[in-house]
Amino acid sequence: MPVSESFRTFVVEQLSRVIPAVRARAMFGGVGIYEGDLFFALIADDTLYLKVDDSNRPDFESRGMGPFRPYGETGEVMQYYQVAEDLLESVEDLRPWVEKAIGVARRKKRGRLRRRDT
């Protein structure tokens, strides 16, 4: 899952134009992308993936974008889907996709907090 420094820099610059509080952190050979404490995206093999759930997964699937599979094509599917290159090139096109992914991360975190309180 190596990530080139140039791709990492490009992605962080593009995302920071959408959300100013973006930060990147190396993890497991890839890069985790956060807005504050919300983990909403990752970079692996010079590909950006955004967090999905039932609310935004169809958007990705309708464009033929597939899930992140850290263990190969027959391995586990994670709840992150590939971002098309044309979206990554245009901040305005990228914005709604990122905002939805942050919303997914926010709902997921809220759900975890509720479960912990019970």
**Strand partners for 11:** none
d(CA 54, CA 42): 19
Provide the residue-wise pLDDT of the chain in tens; the chain has 118 residues. Answer: 689 999 999 999 999 999 988 999 998 889 999 999 999 999 999 999 999 999 999 999 999 999 998 777 877 888 999 999 999 999 999 999 999 999 999 998 877 666 555 5
- Domains parsed from the chain with CATH numbers: 5-117 (3.30.1460.30)
- What local confidence, expressed as pLDDT, does residue 115 receive? 57
pTM of the entire predicted model: 0.90
